[in-house]
Amino acid sequence: MPPAVQSMSPLAPIGVSAALETANDQSVKPKPKIFDEFALIDRVGIVSGGNRGLGLEMALALCEAGARAIYCFDLPATPSEEWQKTQNYIRKMDNGSRLEYVSVDVTKQEDVWKQAKDIGDKEGRMDICVAAAGILKTHTDCLTYPAEQFKAVLDVNTNGVLYTAQAAGQQMRRYGKGGSIILIASMSGSITNRDHAWVSYNTSKSAVLQMARSMACELGTENIRVNSLSPGHIYTSMTAAYLDTQPHLLEKWSNLNPMGRIGRPDELRGVVTWLASDASSFCTGSDILVSGGHHAW
């Protein structure tokens, strides 16, 4: 009787099926396959906000997992020293992976689409998108929140995430091999950061959660998976604007989760690789929270 499933792992036979298939042949020495499921060999991707912070950390992880090329989209005309050193580190790793840089503003829809199309033309595929570009403004009373500031935050954090996902998704559809789109939201999309007046940021991130679910539902049959990834407090340039100027916040934020500390950018390496890879092939329309348990309290 054929199994009641409509798909097969590209690494089949795998798991218990592999164990059963080889059960009667003592000469077969099974090779562990779990890490192969996480491998990104030959995949091509885009990471917006990849010049620094969480974007750069995740771009590096994707390269370490074997991606052919990861293109970092960010604002500066030339990439940061941190980015250049990371590119050099990947070159020295010599695993066939490339880190590339593209200067583009994610709020400019046509520009973002065009940059992704050029990558599609050059590489002949598109597999991964991490939409991580985002901004956070200063503490501002919600009742007098200025319209222009509110629009500016939504333009990057919500519209820019949509334009980036569209740009990569268009190339995924063009090449017909499916893909994985990871929208970087935040725990602030589903909780409010205590004592911080961040109505624009929180609103923008909530929209990203629903964007991921909505896009996942439209694109599922094309095997284009769309999930959101929601980090908790992590020390980067974004949060340094608060933590470096108000040092008491480190203890306060740390005590808001059961682990009693804030996170490190490298603590997103595993989850982004999992989401980008075949290891998460049945995961779409989900929000993955990585917050040290902030929501559990």
Ligand X SMILES: NC(=O)c1ccc[n+]([C@@H]2O[C@H](COP(=O)([O-])OP(=O)(O)OC[C@H]3O[C@@H](n4cnc5c(N)ncnc54)[C@H](O)[C@@H]3O)[C@@H](O)[C@H]2O)c1
Query: Catalytic residues, which ones?
Result: 186, 201, 205
Site string for ligand X, 120-159 (x = CB under 6 A): ------------xxxx--------------------x---
- Is 109 or 170 the residue whose CB approaches ligand X more closely? 109
> What gap in Å lies between CA 77 and CA 80, rounded to an integer?
9
Q: Which amino acid belongs to residue 187? A: M
> What gap in Å lies between CA 280 and CA 297, rounded to an integer?
27
DSSP string, 207-236: HHHHHHHHHHHHHGGGTEEEEEEEE--B-S
Minimum distance of ligand X from residue 164's CB (angstroms)? 9
> What gap in Å lies between CA 58 and CA 174, rounded to an integer?
25
- Is 125 or 186 the residue whose CB approaches ligand X more closely? 186
DSSP string, 46-115: EEETTTSHHHHHHHHHHHHTT-SEEEEEESSSS--HHHHHHHHHHHHHTSS-EEEEEE--TT-HHHHHHH
Site string for ligand X, 76-115 (x = CB under 6 A): -----------------------------xxx--------
Number of residues binding to ligand X, judged by CB under 6 A: 28
Minimum distance of ligand X from residue 268's CB (angstroms)? 9
Find the binding residues for ligand X in span 244-273 (CB under 6 A): none
Residues 6+ apart with CB under 8 A from 80: 51, 52
Minimum distance of ligand X from residue 236's CB (angstroms)? 3
Q: Which of 43, 47, 63, 74 binds ligand X (CB under 6 A)?
A: 74
Does position 292 interact with ligand X (CB under 6 A)? The reply is: no
Minimum distance of ligand X from residue 62's CB (angstroms)? 15
Quick one: which of 284, 268, 277 has its CA closest to 231?
268
Minimum distance of ligand X from residue 15's CB (angstroms)? 33
- Burial group, residue 238, by CB count within 10 angstroms (0-12, 13-18, 19+): middle
> What gap in Å lies between CA 49 and CA 136, rounded to an integer?
13
Minimum distance of ligand X from residue 134's CB (angstroms)? 2
- Is 172 or 184 the residue whose CB approaches ligand X more closely? 184
Angle at 233 between CA 230 and CA 134, to 5 degrees: 60
Q: Specify whether the CB–CB gap between 283 and 227 falls below 8 A.
A: yes
Site string for ligand X, 29-68 (x = CB under 6 A): -------------------xx-xxxxx-------------
- Is 74 or 287 the residue whose CB approaches ligand X more closely? 74
Phi first, then psi: give them for residue 183, nearest 5 degrees.
-95, 120
Residues 6+ apart with CB under 8 A from 244: none
- Is 53 or 169 the residue whose CB approaches ligand X more closely? 53
- Is 104 or 125 the residue whose CB approaches ligand X more closely? 104
Find the binding residues for ligand X in span 179-238 (CB under 6 A): 184, 186, 231, 233-234, 236-238
The residues that touch ligand X, with contacts defined as CB under 6 A, are 48-49, 51-55, 73-75, 105-107, 132-135, 156, 160, 184, 186, 231, 233-234, 236-239
